[in-house]
């Protein structure tokens, strides 16, 4: 196993974080300092960081229902608490894959499987994520093409893959991007305030009936199956005559 993957799977941080440990000269392999990120660790090899032995932990991935007002962080800040306060100590070595902002809720994955985390985060995979946003007023679907065409957010072109009606003041949104606060910012440009935002799926993995603050283990073979991205087709909402109600569609 590559040294950087070995350290990440031992719960010492993200792949980028452990690579920094290696390049800083903090890692030894069989009592020799190693700076090669791709150095192979063989059975019986002794790995240490800052002189402390490192033992590889089994790959673990969990699906967690993040509550509102909790941070995707190891530490709390002000009125916002850390998500790790809701997890048992034996899971504190897991790293969150991506993040949800403090005010957002829903499905969050945590893992010590560096390869899985890399697959989920790499832009080329464009893993679709589905959210339900509760707005301050009903959404006018005549404005949907602006969201599907895209707009600049933090200097990047931000687009919705899909947007459908999910309730009187709720919309279901599919994204394959990961720009900070993308949904809230894009909708605010059109004059909408997002009162509640819940992520209900990542790829083929669904939040389902998982209760707020609860978690469940995701088996490696299930992760490979559920988290395989499928092509996302942008679907423009059908035009609605004034006398009709807004479309009530659901995504795939």
- Least confident range from 73-77, 83-87, 172-176: namely 73-77
The structure's pTM equals 0.74
Query: Is position 240 within any domain?
Result: no
Would you say 204 and 227 are in contact if contact means Cβ atoms under 8 Å apart? yes
Query: Is position 181 within any domain?
Result: yes
Whether 102 and 181 share a structural domain: yes
Query: Is position 76 within any domain?
Result: yes
Q: CA-CA distance, 131 to 129, in Å (whole number)?
A: 7
Buried-exposed string 172-194: b where 16+ CB fall within 10 A, e elsewhere: bbbbbbebeebbbbbbeeeebeb
Whether 137 and 210 share a structural domain: yes
Whether 26 and 120 share a structural domain: no
Query: Which residue is it, tokens 């087709």?
Result: 233
Query: Is position 42 within any domain?
Result: yes
Which residues neighbour 119 within 8 Å (Cβ) at sequence distance 6 or greater? 125, 227
pLDDT digits (tens, 9 = 90+) for 2-36: 888 788 777 777 777 888 999 999 999 999 999 98
Domain containing 99 equals: 61-226
Would you say 86 and 58 are in contact if contact means Cβ atoms under 8 Å apart? no
Whether 119 and 202 share a structural domain: yes
CA proximity to 179, closest of 198, 194, 192, 160: 160
- The question of whether 101 is a catalytic residue gets the answer yes
Query: Is position 250 within any domain?
Result: no
High-pLDDT (> 90) share of the chain, %: 54
Tokens representing 172 are 């279901």
pLDDT digits (tens, 9 = 90+) for 180-239: 899 999 999 999 999 999 999 998 899 999 999 999 999 877 776 666 655 555 555 554
Whether 49 and 92 share a structural domain: no
Whether 74 and 198 share a structural domain: yes
Question: What CATH number is associated with residue 21?
Answer: 3.10.290.10
Residue 166 has pLDDT above 90, yes or no: yes
Q: Quick one: pLDDT at residue 120? A: 78
Q: How many domains does the chain have?
A: 2
Q: Which of 36, 45, 50, 101 is catalytic?
A: 101
Query: Is position 248 within any domain?
Result: no
Q: What are phi and psi of 78, to 5 degrees?
A: 60, -125
Which residues neighbour 153 within 8 Å (Cβ) at sequence distance 6 or greater? 179, 182, 185, 186
Q: Quick one: pLDDT at residue 125? A: 67
Whether 161 and 196 share a structural domain: yes
Query: Is position 171 within any domain?
Result: yes
Distances (CA, A) of 108 to 51, 66, 152, 216, 240: 33, 6, 26, 11, 35
Residue 214 CB neighbour total at 10 angstroms: 12
Query: Is position 165 within any domain?
Result: yes
Tokens representing 178 are 């990961």
Out of 53, 74, 89, a domain closes at 53
Tokens representing 54 are 């490192």
Whether 20 and 95 share a structural domain: no
């Amino acid at each position: 196993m590559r040294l950087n993957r070995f350290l990440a799977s031992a719960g010492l941080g993200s792949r980028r974080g452990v690579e920094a440990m290696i390049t800083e000269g903090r890692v030894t392999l069989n009592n020799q300092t190693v700076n090669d990120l791709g150095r192979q660790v063989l059975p019986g090899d002794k790995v240490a960081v800052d002189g402390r032995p490192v033992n590889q932990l089994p790959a673990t991935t969990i699906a967690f229902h993040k509550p509102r007002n909790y941070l995707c962080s190891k530490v709390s800040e002000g009125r916002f608490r850390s998500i790790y306060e809701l997890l048992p100590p034996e899971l504190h070595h897991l790293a969150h894959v991506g993040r949800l902002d403090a005010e957002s809720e829903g499905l969050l994955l945590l893992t010590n499987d560096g390869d899985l985390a890399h697959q989920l985060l790499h832009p080329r995979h464009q893993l679709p994520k589905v959210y339900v946003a509760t707005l301050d007023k009903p959404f006018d679907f005549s404005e949907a093409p602006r969201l599907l065409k895209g707009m600049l957010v933090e200097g990047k072109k931000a687009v919705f893959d899909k947007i459908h009606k999910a309730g009187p003041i709720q919309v279901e949104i599919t994204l394959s991007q990961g720009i900070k606060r993308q949904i809230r910012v894009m909708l605010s440009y059109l004059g909408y305030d997002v009162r509640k935002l819940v992520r209900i799926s990542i790829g083929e993995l669904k939040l389902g009936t998982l209760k707020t603050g609860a978690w469940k283990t995701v088996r490696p073979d299930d992760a490979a199956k559920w988290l395989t991205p499928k092509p996302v087709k942008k679907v423009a909402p059908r035009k609605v005559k004034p006398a009709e109600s807004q479309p009530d569609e659901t995504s795939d």
